[in-house]
Structure 1
Amino acid sequence: MKLSHWLIFMCLMCITVSTSAQKRNKVYEDYIHKYRGIAVDEMKHYRIPASITLAQGLLESGAGKSELARKSNNHFGIKCGGSWDGRSVRHDDDARNECFRAYKHPKDSYRDHSKFLRSGARYAFLFRLKITDYKGWARGLKKAGYATDPQYANRLINIIELYDLDKYDHKGGLEWAEEFPNPHQPYLANELLYVVARRGDTFKSLGKEFDISHRKLRKYNELPKDYVFRGGEIVYLEEKRRRATKDHIAYVVRSGDSMYSISQKFGVRLERLYKMNNMDPDSPAPKVGDILRLR
């Protein structure tokens, strides 16, 4: 065989091998089909590209086949950390017998992943990127230390491009971004998502932006139907909890505080706040300097 023919043959072989290596995996496709709706929903709420969420889920969980995903519904390899007080399991990773978070349902894992990124100071710079910049997000996650694998960003990008996951950042997600060109910035309190209302906001407009029933928004925030936002109010997008986090055991009342404003500040249901402090709605308002229990 002439050298030129041999080179052509080898090139064709390389192309064939490369194409074969890039062939889609049905297990991956099944995982994407199963969880893409959740990923898009998380994108709408937390501004994390659905493509990144899906690629991380695929990579971290082995498309849902890893022991951690199968037995503990942990699809993102999130370890317990100092603030975690939920269910946990022990699993070998960078070290032996490390503590990992465990969830009742994979959807809980997706929500915790969103909160993990949104509340982590080292990931804050990612939220200045465009929601369609999956390459920037992938490289940023590696830079922030999400994973120790030096090829982590490239692996995410390759998965996204092989399975066309970035279409989920556009389809529906892009239409939503165009409809709300100045979206509300989401924050976390008591591990709950909230936004700060602007003058002119309504329950319906906020509900449409975050795909939540306006009736649920009123219920979550314990506000009457005819309430008019003045701007500056905390508006929870999830139901408030029965108590505050371990970091907030008690609160010293300040000037301008009310039982309602304190319940909103710490994400605690108003009736629970009254009950924990042996009070009821007819009780005198707390005075400046009073100490209220939050848990």
Structure 2
Amino acid sequence: MFLRKRNLLLAGVLATSMTAAAQKAPQKYLAKYRPIAVNLSKETGVPASVILGVAMLESGLGTSKNARLLRNHFGIVGKNNLAKRGHTYRSVYREFATDTASYRQFVKVLQKKKWYASMQGNEDYQLWLKKMIASHYSSAGHVWVERVTRMIRTYKLYELDDEIKLAKR
């Protein structure tokens, strides 16, 4: 009986500490990359919520191998030097010199879309995601839109767009 109670207590403590660590990951990611997304949003008119929501999903909050090894937070396809550096991990994804370069490339991809000019400055993240899916940004379709939307709503990323809008006034 004593061992069972001790094991339950130990399991509870472990679960609590794992939950606390899991809750810190998004906050660490946001603290690090929020300024980049906000600056890019101000420069380009792409909502910061879209930039961060996609980055958080695609990079697993910065924990994916592509984010860690290639500094690629968006699943952008291209060349990398992993093999030359002796890594056994193979990837079709592009390597970036910095995390910021990855963010900048994501925005450049959006700026090349036909619909970009008509959307620039519009902070309706749902409309942006619809346009992105319609232009085949992700092969996961509406599931991808739902996941990015969940990121944006869970972490209230839309508030960044509101802050940028208020700052312009």
Q: Normalized per residue, which structure has more helix? A: 2
Which amino acid is 1:143 matched to? A
CA positional deviation for 1:176: 4.5
Q: Normalized per residue, which structure has more strand? A: 1
Q: CA RMSD in A?
A: 2.1
The answer on 1:166 being equivalent to 2:164 is: no
CA positional deviation for 1:142: 1.4
Work out which of the residue numbers 77, 97, 105 in structure 2 matches 1:79: 77
Aligned residue number for residue 110 of structure 1: 103
Residues in 1 aligned to 2:40 and 2:34: alpha-carbon distance in whole angstroms: 10
Identity, % of aligned positions: 29
Work out which of the residue numbers 124, 148, 151 in structure 1 matches 2:114: 124
Residues in 1 aligned to 2:80 and 2:70: alpha-carbon distance in whole angstroms: 8
Contact 2:59–2:66 (CA under 8 A) maintained in structure 1: yes
Highest RCO, 1 vs 2 (Cα 8 Å, sep ≥ 6): 2
Which amino acid is 2:126 matched to? K
Q: TM-score, normalised by structure 1?
A: 0.44
CA positional deviation for 1:60: 0.7
CA positional deviation for 1:175: 3.0
Q: Which runs of 4 or more aligned residues in structure 1 lie more than 4 Å from their structure 2 counterparts after TM superposition?
A: none
Q: TM-score, normalised by structure 2?
A: 0.75
Instruction: State the Cα deviation string for residues 219-243 of structure 1 (Å, max 9, x = none).
Output: xxxxxxxxxxxxxxxxxxxxxxxxx
Residues in 2 aligned to 1:25 and 1:139: alpha-carbon distance in whole angstroms: 29
Larger Rg: 1
CA positional deviation for 1:177: 4.1
Which amino acid is 1:135 matched to? Q
Residues in 1 aligned to 2:25 and 2:118: alpha-carbon distance in whole angstroms: 33
Contact 1:138–1:154 (CA under 8 A) maintained in structure 2: no
Contact 2:46–2:123 (CA under 8 A) maintained in structure 1: no
Instruction: State the Cα deviation string for residues 78-118 of structure 1 (Å, max 9, x = none).
Output: 012xxxxxx62579xxxxx6632111210111111111211
Aligned residue number for residue 135 of structure 1: 126
Instruction: State the Cα deviation string for residues 122-168 of structure 1 (Å, max 9, x = none).
Output: x2314423522011011211111111113111111111111100011
